[in-house]
Amino acid sequence: MSQLTEYQFPKGFWWGSAASGPQTEGRIENDGKGDSMWDYWYKEAPEKFFNQVGPEKTSQVYQKYQEDIQLMKATGHTTFRTSIQWSRLIPDGVGAVNPKAVAFYNDYIDDMIANGIEPFMNLYHFDMPMALQEKGGWLNRETVDAYVTFAKTCFELFGDRVKKWFTHNEPIVPVEAGYLYQFHYPLEINLKHAVQVGYHEMLASAKAIAAYHGMKLGGEIGIILNLTPSYPRDETNPADVKAAVIADAFFNRSFLDPSVKGEFPVELVELLKEIDHLPVYEEEDLVIIKENTVDLLGINYYQPRRVKAKETPIDHTNGPMPEDYFDTYEMPGRKMNPYRGWEIYEKGIYDILTNVRENYGNIRCYISENGMGVEGEERFINEKGEIEDDYRIDFVKDHLKYVHQAITEGANCQGYHMWTCMDNWSWNNAYKNRYGFISVNLAEDGKRTIKKSGHWFKQISSQNGFND
């Protein structure tokens, strides 16, 4: 019998990690996968990707999933989230299903379950099939219908075993990265397009939820949102507070409110109406969104957003932008992850869970991502060939203390997933920053080695908690 731990979590707490299909699976000859917009963009501009490592390499999970599941078991996973690649399952986005993809996902799911790991499956993780992107991607309303068909296909094929489904991971990212800030293809700066893309993602989510509930498969369906709390520079300054409210409406509540409450935030709707940027929509859409809210909320948390009233001149070069309404603020003395350029603020995870408890009906939720990307981890390899990533242990532990506090105060938080299981390919950054419990050596055919944090996580999972 182990002693009672200082930070004890509720019975059945979900311990594990998160990844995605496009960031882990890779491609091999004749696997039947169609191009996603990432495959296309890499072919067009490989120099945009760190060390020119493209999505065909990733972490070779397509071939190594059985080994990987044993490593998940060895690192204490009771649950694991990944995504089904739309362009793998339905290569052209619509039409014929790829039988090789069905066989792969069936084996992957079955092997997880056989090893006591519950699969959580997400449907969209930034990986638009290129055939649909050429017709406008999320800008095109036809993509909503194509997505719902894809979702139903997944439910029919795998829903007898997968009981935790998610419609989107971080739907704000295609909005920001693809249509506001040029991080991702199609590299636009166009708020009107960004709003339309976000709206279609939200409508697609609600329609997929309706389809899932209609199929009566006995599971749950939710959405995964990266919630980045907006903190005003000065809580006593009304202008700073207002700026934080607007930033929050743009980047958090734009998806959180319709997903959980079934309606868009009034502040955002009024602002978009003022600048004539409301999306094109049909009246019945709003009923569908209202009536098909999530069963479960995944919360990704990495960093806070610090906001102050607008002090710099508005840049009109590209038309209206969210930054017309606020400036970002660097808090003096902040703690930083120098590799990623992100502030580390552990209490943010508590503030999110408290907000969800107080303002969103205390919906069942879990931490679906939280993690620390570090460059050059090979510096920390010990004589056994393992990476001693004490900084990652400290990062996870310090966040888990706040998760524990929120649960003690009544937050309905069911689990914690770190990003990520094994080092994976991260969009333009490729393998620049490593996040995993398990290292991946690209020079040695993707050889896997559990890091110190992975062994530590096994202890936490086994004890369902930890001592400081």
Q: How far apart are CA 202 and CA 223, in angstroms?
A: 10
H or E segment at 375? Answer: strand 374-375
Q: To 10 degrees, the CA torsion angle through 54, 55, 57, 58?
A: 120
Q: Is 369 among the residues known to form the active site?
A: yes
Q: How far apart are CA 71 and CA 69, in angstroms?
A: 5
Instruction: Write out the H or E segment, with its range, that includes residue 247.
Output: helix 238-248
Contact 355, 252 (CB under 8 A): no
Instruction: Please say whether the beta carbons of 110 and 158 come within 8 A.
Output: no
Backbone angles phi, psi at 56, to 5 degrees: -75, -20
Which of 282, 242, 269, 317 is CA-nearest to residue 145?
282
What is the chain's alpha carbon radius of gyration, rounded to the nearest angstrom?
A: 21
- Among the options 6, 369, 377, 386, which is catalytic? 369
Residues 6+ apart with CB under 8 A from 121: 81, 82, 83, 84, 109, 154, 158, 162, 164, 165, 166
Which residues are the active-site residues? 369
